[in-house]
Structures are given as structure tokens and as C-alpha cells.
Structure 1
Amino acid sequence: MRLTRRHLLASAALLGAAPLLPARADASRTLRILVGFPPGGGSDAIARLLADRLKDVLAMTVVVDNRPGAGGQIAAQVLKSAPADGLTLFLTHDHTISILPQVVKNPGFDPARDFVAAGGFATFVNGLAVSPGTPAARFADYVDWVRRAQGGKSAVGIPAPASTPEFLVRLLGRRYGLDLVAAPYRGSAPMMADMLGNQIAAGIGSVQDFIENHRAGKLRMLAVLGAQRQQALPDVPTFAELGLAGFEDQPYYGFYAPAGTSEAALARFSDALAQVVAQPQVRETLTTMGLTVGYMTPAQLTARERAYTRVWTRIIRESGFTPQ
């Protein structure tokens, strides 16, 4: 999601009224939050929103360090080599932790060995959206348009190669007898730019990437994954409603630290995250972005990650995908 400057400023003003529960002052140190995608996308906006609140709760400087490329792989490698002192964390979602190790032969990191969960804060769903120039108001219209007007073949943008959206593109193609080709981008921001410019007819990504432009009528979301319709998008049906079941498990957002980070450092950050997520204004803003907000302890985030990884390991194997 490409948040406008006005949107971000408004969010910051809204959050500024939140009550603070400061932790031990540590102004001499800086907490670095790694983000594996470029500025302007959904993950970057979320990181900056949380960083702004964490700095007050932790009473220290918090900076966002964008390390875009390879679907978060570069940022993950940076985390692996970072000191295990509690001052470098990786804000990421399912793709880097659960999917990349299944689709890349040598990703340069092993989440189970190299990382430790520091706390989670939300789940979300992916969805399909079409560009303003694509004449489809419903998912059935989109399928019919590809079949009749495009000769059965069309490109679908995805924010990273070998990602959950790519496997959904493959599944949709098989399910509806279409030749859908996944077109990978380096993050959601450049994908959104091409969609808004009608350079590509459709895209699959997280709800938070699309929701603002959907509300503004600049593109149209046609379907979302998940077991039920999203609170922020009550007008958009689930793929399960459309007859495509099996994608109800929801991806997650969380923070990870280098392996070897002390329990005390993890507990301090996790407690601060819990305080931030509990603030009504934070919850409201993240919900507006399309997230289902809910604090997860490190153990709860680990359990969700492992369950999600098991589901997608099976899906990836059944798809016949060969790790690159």
C-alpha cells in the first residue's frame, strides 16, 4: 500500500494522543528495524508507524532501515549477521520466513537456526485487484475478460518471485483454464505504480497494499483469501465464496531477532510491542490498513509461523515448483 504523505501525517497526529508507558530510559542506544521492501509499500508504512510508538515506550531512538530486494532475502541476511544485542530486529511477514526457504535453494539463512521470534502483532490476507483500465467489476468478469478479450492469457503482477501470490496465480490459471503469467516486482510499491498506470491488468498482493486505492476508486479488489470477508473490505468476497477453497490460513506479521539474543532483550521488546499494539489508536490505524490486529508473544508467533509453514510446504510441493 502506498500511503500518501497526508495519510501518514494524519496517522502520526492521531497516534500522538496515545498514552505512554515508558520503559527504562535508554536514549543513548538506537534500535534498528530492518524492512525487506522499499519505502512506499505496506510493510514500510507499518514499520514506520510502529517505530514512532516504540521509541516512546522504549525511551530510545528507533529507526527503519530498508533493505529491499529478493522478497526480503537481503534484509534477512543482514539480520543473520547482526549482533545479537537486541538492537537489530526484522519486521517481516510470512514470505521471508515461511516461503523463501521452500523456494530458494540457498537463501543465505535458516529461520529456525538463525532467527528467534521477538513478538507478532497482526495477521492479514492477500487479494486480487485489477487496474482501472481493466473492465471487470467482479472476479467472474475478470475471468471472462481474460478468456474472451485476451485470448486466455494475461500477466498478473506479484510483489516478489516465488511468493504466495505467485502460487495463487498458478492455481487460478489451472482452476479456470487460463494462461496466467506471474510478473514479479521488487516489492508492492513498483507493482502498484504499474497497476495505476495500466501497465499491467491485475495484481495479487496483501490487502494493505491495495486498500487505499480501492477505497479511492483507483483500482478494484475482486477477491481476498481467508476464511471470511475482511472487516475493512466487507464488499469484497473471499476466494472460498467463489469456489476456491484451501487458502483460509492467514499470513502473519512479526518481529525477529538474531539467534542468541538474550531472553531479557526479547522480553523487553515484546513487552513494549504489546503496549503499542494495545493502544486503541494504533489498533484502529492498522485495522484501517487492512490488518487483523492482535499481539502475539514470541512463543505464539513461533507456533503460528510453524503451522503456516507446514501448510505452504505442502502447497508448494503439490504445485510441482522446483526450488531455484
Structure 2
Amino acid sequence: MRISRRRVLQFSLAATAAGHAPWSLAEGHRPIRLLVGFPPGGGTDAIARLLAEKLKDQLGETVIVDNRPGAGGQIAAQVLKSAAADGSTLFVTHDHTISILPQVVKKPGFDPDRDFMPAGGFANFVNCFAVSTATPVKSFSDYVSWVKEQGHGKSAVGIPAPASTPEFLVQLLGKRYQLDLLAAPYRGSAPMIADMLGNQIPAGIGSVQDFLENHKAGKLRVLAVLGGKRQAALPDVPTFAELGLKGFEDLPYYGVYAPKGTPAAFIERFSHALAKVVAMPDVHEQLTAMGINVEYLTPVQLAKREHAYTQAWKKIIQASGFQPQ
């Protein structure tokens, strides 16, 4: 007998009211996997591990992080698509994989609308531009002058993934300041930062949480941030809007996704657990310290945010002349 979505939700609410979990994986004792599309050591990995530690208590299940790095999250997204829709596999990711990658890759191997279900959002974040302290650069205007003097207007800028927000920003910065900037793609922020620390590449663009620790330690120097206002973690660093570069005020987001067809009862239970976790003072404090702006979103709100961000980037990508590859 086929049970309607409404009946499932009614059962879920009734079970919750009775003090019982509406969905459990306890039968097979399988852990819940949180897929991460980037290597260990990066910002997304650190966030996922923090969530996993807290979610296990809220869900009463073992929660582990499963890193599947490569292609800007594309590999992890393909794993999610083929995973069983039983609540045992989820995907912690940001806007690049969900809103941008399907627009810049001809055959990404997944369709977020068709293959995934939003399970809840928990934060937005800000990208920033940083340089190696091997350079004498102290400000973004210093950087522009330095590139023109040292490299005759040519220089490489590291990015955590190809055809990503950072790559389009590199293009825009090159045009705006008449520089010949080459976007150098990496498999995540961790190897990019390692090369910056090793003076293999002079500059990079990534999220604030990727650079924050090394910036505070004086090992790298963040020169500018995106978004409409300065970040609490970097109060002395100007926004690109302050420097005259507008159009990047809308903030990227972080969310959790499940395979299409995952029971509504599990999605509801997970979303409630996620809301409780990000409301915890210690979690809020740790995420904020990473440069993350905590913002819980229900699955419906996450879907709306995803759609709006996808449409905004559709205009930027088309204006850049970028052709899907």
C-alpha cells in the first residue's frame, strides 16, 4: 500500500510527540556518512567534523565524515546521487557544487533538482583574497602595483576549484585593474594554502575560514573580503565593495543534502537536529571563529536560497562569456 507524504509527516509528528524518534537506522547499525567534496584539513572538512561530533548525540546514531575530494565537489555529489535514499548518506557542501558547478560543466553527472533533497542549511560565508607573506604586499592596492612591477602585469592566483566563484573573481579583478591574472586551480583549499605557505604561488582566493588561522598567525595576509560588510573575524580588512568592485555582495551558503527519495520523516528529524546543533553556544562560537556566519535554514528555505543564488550566478557566468567545459 502506498503511503502519502502527508501520512508520513503525520506519523513523524505523532511519534515525536510520543517521545520516540520518527526515523532510525538502528536496525542495521549503519553510521550516517557526511560526504565532503574536499580534502581533510580544509574549511569544509573542519565544519563537517564539528557538525558530525554534535549530530551523533542529537540523532542517536554514529556520524562519520567521508572525504571524497576532487572536481570542486563533483565526485562527492556523484556518490550522493548513487547512495541509498535511506538516511545513511548526506552531503555537506556549499554553493559551488550545488549552484555553480552544474552551470559550468557540460556533464556534471548529477542534477541537484532531480537527484538531491535539501535537508537543512546552517551558515553563509565570505570569500577573500590573500597573499603570501613572502611578498611585500600590505594592501590590495599594493598588490596591484606589485604585480605590475614584478611580473609586468602577469601573476597567478590560486583557487580551490576550477570554474568556481574564485575563478570568476580572478577574471573580474584582472579586467578591473588591467592585470593578466591566471587562475590556478587546486583540489581544495588545503593544497592551495600549502603552496602559498611554501611560496610556490603568491596569492589565492578562498573562504575566510580557509585563511583565517594563517592570517592571524602572520603566515598569510588577507587583503580584501567579499560581501556587503566587513567580517567580525577580520574587522580591519576592507570589502571589495569598499575598494570599488561591486556585484559580489550576495553571500554563498552551506547546506546539507540527501539523495532524492529519502523519507520525509528522516529529513524532518535531521533538520531539527541540525537546528539544535548550530544553536549550541560552543558550536556557534567555533563556527564564528572560523569566519562562518551561522544562519539556520529549513529545507524549504535552503531550496529557495539555492534557487536564488543559482539565478544570480547564471547572469554572472553568462556575462563573463564562460563556456561550459
Same fold (TM over 0.5): yes
State the shift of 1:35 in Å. Answer: 0.3
Separation in 1 of the partners of 2:173 and 2:276? 40
Output the CA distance in 2 between the equivalents of 1:236 and 1:134. 18
Aligned pairs for 1:79-158 (under 5 A) are 79-158=80-159
Deviations 1:163-190 (Å, cap 9, x if unpaired)? 1000000000000000000000000000
Residues 203-214 of structure 1: matches in 2 within 5 Å?
203-214=204-215
Once the two structures are superposed, residues 290-316 of structure 1 have per-residue CA deviations (whole angstroms, 9 ceiling, x without a partner) of 000011100111111111111111000
Paired AA for residue 299 in structure 1:
V
Q: Partner of 2:193 in structure 1? A: 192
Which portions of structure 1, spanning 4 or more consecutive aligned residues, are displaced by more than 3 angstroms? 22-27
Q: For residues 107 and 150 of structure 2, what CA distance do their matches in structure 1 show? A: 41
Deviations 1:92-146 (A, max 9, x none): 0001001100100000000011101000000001000000111110000000100
| Cα distance in structure 2, aligned partners of 1:199 and 1:32 | 35
Contact 1:23–1:58 (8 Å) recurs in 2? no
1:227 touches 1:248 (CA, 8 Å); kept in 2?
yes
Q: How far apart, in 1, do the equivalents of 2:25 and 2:321 lie?
A: 50
Partner Cα separation in structure 2 for residue 234 and residue 293 of structure 1:
17
Q: Distance in 1 between matches of 2:241 and 2:104?
A: 25
Task: State percent identity of aligned pairs.
Answer: 73
How big is each residue's C-alpha offset from its partner over 1:246-281, in whole Å with a ceiling of 9 and x where there is no partner? Answer: 000000001000111111110010000001011011
**2:304 matched residue in structure 1:** 303
Partner of 2:287: 286
- Is the CA contact 1:35–1:92 (under 8 Å) kept in the aligned structure 2? yes
Task: Confirm or deny: 8 A CA contact 1:26 1:59 kept in the other structure.
Answer: no
| Partner residue in 2 for 1:313 | 314
**TM-fit CA distance, 1:30:** 1.2
- What's 1:201 paired with? 202
What residue in structure 2 maps to residue 256 of structure 1? 257
Structure 1: state its 5+ residue gaps. 1-21
Q: TM-score when scaled to structure 1?
A: 0.92
SS of 2:276's equivalent in the other structure is helix
- SS of the aligned residue for 2:121 comes to strand
Question: CA offsets, 1:42-92, max 9 Å, x none?
Answer: 010100010000001111100100000000000000000011111110000
* Greater Rg by CA: 2
Q: Distance in 1 between matches of 2:300 and 2:232?
A: 27
SS at match of 2:161: coil
Cα separation, 2, equivalents of 1:114 and 1:292: 28
Q: Displacement of 1:26 after TM fit?
A: 5.6
Tell me how far 1:29 sits from its aligned partner: 3.2
Distance 1:306 1:236 in 2: 30
Which SS does the other structure have where 1:173 is aligned? Answer: helix
* Residue 231, structure 1, aligned to residue 256, structure 2: no
- CA-based RMSD of the aligned residues comes to 1.1
Tell me the residue number matched to 1:268.
269
In structure 2, how many angstroms separate the alpha carbons of the residues matched to 1:44 and 1:291?
Answer: 13
- Paired positions, count: 303
How far 1:228 moved relative to its partner? 0.3
Q: Which runs of 5+ in 2 are unaligned?
A: 1-18
- For 1:104, the aligned partner's letter is V
